[in-house]
Structure 1
Amino acid sequence: MEQPEPQVPQVVFLPCPFQGHIKPMFRLAELLSHANFRVTFLNTQRNHDLLLLSLDIPAFRRQCPNFQLLSYPDNVPLGLDQHRLSEQGFVDCLLSIKAAAKPALSELLEPKTGRRPPTCIIADWLIMCSSALDVTKEFGNIPVFAYQVGCAHYMWMDFHLLKLIEEGEVPLRDKDMDKPVTSIPGLGMSVRRRDLSGFCRLDAACKQVIEISTNYGSSAVSQAYGLILNTFDKLEAPVISKLSSFLPFKIYTTGPLHGLLNNYCIKNSNPLHSINVTICKEDTSCITWLDAQPSGSVIFVSFGSLASLSRSQILEIGQGLLNSCRPFLWVIRPNPIVGQQEDDSSPGQILMELENMSPEKGLIVSWVPQEMVLAHPAVGGFLTHSGWNSTLESIYARVPMICWPTGADQQVNSRCVSALWRIGFDMKDTCDRSTVEKLVNDLMEDKRDSIMKSMDPIARRAEESVQEGGSSYCNLQRLITDIRSLIPT
């Protein structure tokens, strides 16, 4: 008797609509697509359109024929400009994201002729996991995997936020920011109030944001089928162990995801490893400029897709870079450049002023293919906002960091970089030219040997984790096997 063909797993991805969340989830979606899964990536309309502009669609369709890109209507105040919202506006934004995703997911799951329900949903831990769990209860409890785009340390600290409110530690207004926080066990490093989540720095909306994060994040995770983390075991082993004992399901550490994908593409001669997933338009001219710079000489500067700088901050950082006398490549987004303007200067005028200061030493661009830049031999250091994607990419490329975090998980990440892993410096809450100059020179020369002594083994472990037989490679295979096992027999 002829055996029926095995059913193909179908996975729906539901990312939160921010660049730093979309990118790693898209990488995992690609990997599952290469494992012959049918993948649906559900994005807001605006981000869907921007993503289509960044992809070589014909090549992408050839390599990932079972990868479907779908969208739902935007329902978020001011699009992605969260940094321009008031505290209450930020709360409304989070709730709007949740409200917009639910009907779109319901429509996708609605039974129709000839269409099977998905095998599972992989939903962003922030807001989206809760939405997915709410919706799937109406359709037979489809398994939901929670995806945490931040590090394990941030997640573990998040589970303690309500306790910090009860103890009066947060909100952080008018408090000694250097006072140690002792009520979060198992971190492997000392943590100060200034190292807590950026949400703790909010004033009136602090408790509301943390309750949203807890009710729609931490508590939702506990109802999920499993948890996927973009990290690797040997980077955060003690905290991953804490999470494993705390949560009632499997944890899959699969990072650095871009390293896993690059290895797959190289092994299979797949040209997609050169395609960058971004909702920001990239300027690739910087690669030619980097080609002309000496090895290890350039300090790369980027503060991510959402951070907002004032005019004085831009000029202080710029003057510090110039005073260091080292070539720099600086990403400054064209819109918006400045969030808290201190005079009537337009963003264009500020850019012109900065470019006039640095015509020979620096290059200023609007956005870059960051993985490619960090891997370039001319880049010797990274002045970063400490987003988790940037942190992992920097580790994988063996590029030490100066951390200037601006919110959310970045405060935690920068503390890990400086105090736990000792692969860079933490410049949080400081922005003056003398500090920038000193830390750039320390990173690039004066203290480089000690920093690289810590960086080299960590980077080597990151590379080993994504190679065949490595922890992240094996965890990805375990995830693939476990999703296949969810198909009804």
Structure 2
Amino acid sequence: MSPSEPVVHVAFLPSAGMGHLNPCLRIATLFLRHGCKVTLITPKPTVSTAESNLVSRFCSSFPHQATQIDLNPATVNTNDPFWLQFETIRRSVHLVAPILSSLSTPLSAFIYDISLISPLVPITQKLSCPSYMYFVASARMFSFFAHLHVLAASDPSSQPHPSSFIGDGVKIPGIASPIPRSSVPPLLLQPNSLFESIFMEDSAKVTKLNGVFINSFEEMEGEALAALNEGKVVKGLPPVYGVGPLMTCEFEEVEQGKGGCMGSVLEWLDEKSEGSVVYVCFGNRTATRREQIKDMALGLTESGYSFLWVVKLKGGDKEEEEGLEDVLGSKLMSKVKEKGMVVKEYVYQMEILGHPAVGGFVNHGGWNSIIECVWQGVPILSWAQGGDQKIASEAVRISGVGIWPQEWGWGSEHVVNGKEIADRIKEMMENESLRVKAKEMKKAARNAAGVGGRCEVIVKKLIEEWKKNV
């Protein structure tokens, strides 16, 4: 950008959790790469060390203005530290207004997390600042979220709850297959839960935004993106921008593969033949239930494939007092060590998925993980554990890049036995049509995010629009 051109200045405000922070920083990087000035407003303290480290690396990698807000403590009906942080940030956003007002360079746009719509819309309207939201899940999930207030309006009660107005399923205009009640995030069906209150309050406010960013692309979710942008899901909905795949950026690649855990992992993978390893990981905050651990180990060992298993026995950043052998016993642990490698530390997932030895990914249906897997062209076995993950798993099945054993239910519902797990792993690893489709989707993903691709076209067009108002 030449000195004579107007400066496009974009501010970002993430929420809690790596799954919310990563997309925010990756979208910020898109605009930085196209010459925009970026201000990152980060709530402190963060919930996890991983979040804090990622923010630090981002701030070290890019020249921009970083501002922190001290959070107002909140007391709400949840024991989940991440949901508590969501509500804490919502109650602290009044601190954002003076920050935005005091910026030396006028603001062109403010982009923030989905969980902050209701408290931030009045602030951006008062400041006459274009307001955008980034959505951390699939376009299919966003269509459900945006349509929720329409469904609520059909309930005659004064305080409608999804548990009452969502019947056997939800038919969303423009989307062929309904979302069954069994796929609705469980917390949304719990009256007066924090998740329900945020969703119910924010769904109706989406039309007040100037746009929505989603980590998806047409080949992966063309039906949902079209329904959203053609006004079928909700009348008056702002543009929904599929800017995916949002991939690993420079600030995330610091020290990857050098020593420590990742060094050992890569050395182990280097010894394996192409496409022979099953990678198993349920995200950075999802703990595997003790009751499921043994059958998971049995399924992996009986599948016949080598495996890299990232095991979390506790959620979040909590220290784990007991080891895997305490849960499995020495005999089963010996079998695990014969066929696989077990990791309990944070791993750089993209580097693992991109390794030639990895031939399949057993995951929890987390949307970021799914998109990263699609980018690398690796088939998926999606086992939803909670939240939007069944809806994401359905997108995996519809797109043809993986399988979703619906009969397994939620990860916390019941124990899936080892034989079932082994059979499904074999299906994922040996189904040629999955492998072909995964490779096709990989090519489409690279085209969408490459030079001249749809993501670049969207970003450049927005920047040109914002320049007109500078």
State the TM-score, normalized to the length of structure 2.
Answer: 0.83
Report how far residue 93 of structure 1 moved.
5.3
- The answer as to 2:422 corresponding to 1:452 is no
Q: 1:447-477 deviations in whole A, cap 9, x for unaligned?
A: x212123323222211111122222221122
Whichever residue aligns with residue 298 of structure 1, its letter is V
- One of 56, 62, 68 as aligned partner of 1:64: 62
Aligned partner of residue 346 in structure 2, secondary structure: coil
For residues 322 and 36 of structure 1, what CA distance do their matches in structure 2 show?
A: 50
| Matching of residues 30-429 of structure 1 within 5 Å | 30-47=29-46, 50-51=50-51, 53-54=53-54, 57=57, 61=60, 64-65=62-63, 67-75=64-72, 84-85=79-80, 94-100=86-92, 102-111=93-102, 115-125=104-114, 127-138=115-126, 140-162=127-149, 170-171=162-163, 181=169, 183-200=171-188, 202-205=189-192, 209-216=195-202, 218-244=203-229, 245=231, 246=234, 247-258=236-247, 274-275=253-254, 283-333=262-312, 335-336=314-315, 347-350=321-324, 352-354=326-328, 355-365=333-343, 366-418=345-397, 420-427=398-405, 428-429=408-409
**Partner AA of 2:187 in structure 1:** F
Distance 1:402 1:77 in 2: 38
* Alignment-derived partner of residue 27 in structure 2: 28
- Counterparts of 1:338 and 1:358 in 2: how far apart (Å)? 25
5+ long unaligned stretches in structure 2? none
Q: Which residue of 2 aligns with 1:434?
A: 419
1:8 CA drift (Å)? 1.8
The answer to whether the 8 Å contact 2:26/2:246 transfers is: yes
SS of corresponding position for 1:69: strand
| Displacement of 1:297 | 0.8
Kindly tell me the number of residue pairs found equivalent between the two proteins. Answer: 443
Whether the aligned pair in 2 keeps the contact of 1:295 and 1:378 (CA below 8 Å) is yes
- Cα shift at 1:164: 5.5
Deviation at 1:111, TM superposition (A): 3.0
- The whole-number CA distance in structure 1 between the counterparts of 2:359 and 2:311 is 19
1:304 shift after superposition:
0.9
Query: Structure 1 residues 25 and 290 mapped into 2: Cα distance closer, same or farther (>3 Å)?
Result: same
User: Aligned partners of 2:27 and 2:128: how far apart in 1?
Assistant: 23
Name stretches of at least 5 consecutive residues in structure 1 with no aligned partner. 262-270, 340-345
Q: State how far apart, in whole Å, the 2-side matches of 1:137 and 1:338 are.
A: 37
CA contact (8 A) 2:171 2:177 kept: no
> Is the CA contact (8 Å cut-off) linking 1:34 and 1:64 kept in structure 2?
no
Shift of 1:163: 5.6
Deviation at 1:190, TM superposition (A): 4.9
Is the contact between residue 338 and residue 347 of structure 1 (CA under 8 Å) also seen in structure 2? no
The 1:182–1:131 alpha-carbon spacing in structure 2 relative to 1, beyond 3 Å, is: closer
Report the Cα offset of residue 478 of structure 1: 1.7
Identify if the C-alpha distance between structure 1 residues 276 and 337 changes in structure 2 by more than 3 Å, giving closer, same or farther.
Answer: same
Label 1:464 to 1:195 Cα distance change in 2 as closer, same or farther (>3 A). Answer: same
Over the matched positions of the two proteins, sequence identity in percent amounts to 24
Equivalents in 2 of 1:77, 1:434: separation in Å?
A: 45
**Given that residues 311 and 338 in structure 1 are in contact (C-alpha distance below 8 angstroms), is that contact kept between their aligned partners in structure 2?**
no
Report the CA distance between 1:5 and its aligned residue.
3.3
Alignment-mate amino acid for residue 219 of structure 2: K
Q: Distance in 2 between matches of 1:360 and 1:49?
A: 33
Change (3 A) 1:144 1:276: farther
- Amino acid paired to 1:348: E
Q: Considering only aligned residues, what root-mean-square deviation do their CA atoms show, in Å? A: 3.5
Contact 2:366 2:389 in 1 (8 A): yes
| Counterpart in the other structure of 1:343 | none
CA, structure 1 residues 6+90, in 2 after alignment: closer, same or farther (shift >3 Å)? closer
CA 1:182–1:45: 2 relative to 1, 3 Å: closer
| Closer/same/farther in 2, CA of residues 5 and 471 from structure 1, 3 Å limit | closer
- TM norm structure 1: 0.80
Q: Give the Å deviation of 1:92.
A: 5.7
CA distance change for structure 1 residues 97 and 169 in 2, over 3 Å: closer, same or farther?
A: closer
